[in-house]
Amino acid sequence: MLETGTKAPAFSLPDQNGDMHTLEEYRGKKVILYFYPKDSTPGCTKQACGFAELYPQFMEKGAVVLGVSKDSVKSHKNFETKYGLPFTLLSDPEKEVIQAYDVWKEKKNYGKVSMGVVRTTYLIDEEGVIVKAMDKVKAAENPQQMLESLE
């Protein structure tokens, strides 16, 4: 996980519509950048729907929400459509941004060890500096925690 106080790594990734997004274009806004393992799985759906539910409050506080996984643009589009997600989902199949933000880790699931995205959320300030970093995030609680961290 990246440390608070460090500059957030730049990125350029396609969203669920195939449009490119860079961190630089969000300069002047707070960015909640959350990394999750997989579209349409129970925990990831809980987390995404939580962010969707609180999205108007994030907007009021001048924050944007960006979700990142290694799923395809098409998978993200299906996820967005199925759950009516109002925010941007970024596709990183090459894991360049996932690795730059240090969220590709060894995971244990039922005793089996594999590599995967560890659910992690970063709050990046208007200048592009990481001001909050949370790893081993609990999917259902994370949206509310991030909203409170904007207070």
Q: Are 133 and 6 in contact (CB under 8 A)?
A: no
Q: How far apart are CA 35 and CA 58, in angstroms?
A: 17
Residue 151, token pair as written in the block = 């207070």
Q: Write down the pLDDT at residue 108.
A: 85
Helices 42-60 and 142-149, packing angle to 10 deg: 20
Tokens (6 digits) for 92: 């990183």
pTM tops 0.85, yes or no: yes
Do residues 95 and 70 touch, judged by C-beta distance below 8 A? yes
What's the pLDDT score for residue 110? Answer: 86
pLDDT along the chain (151 residues), means of 10: 96 98 97 97 97 97 97 98 98 98 91 93 97 94 96 80
Residues with a catalytic annotation lie at 44
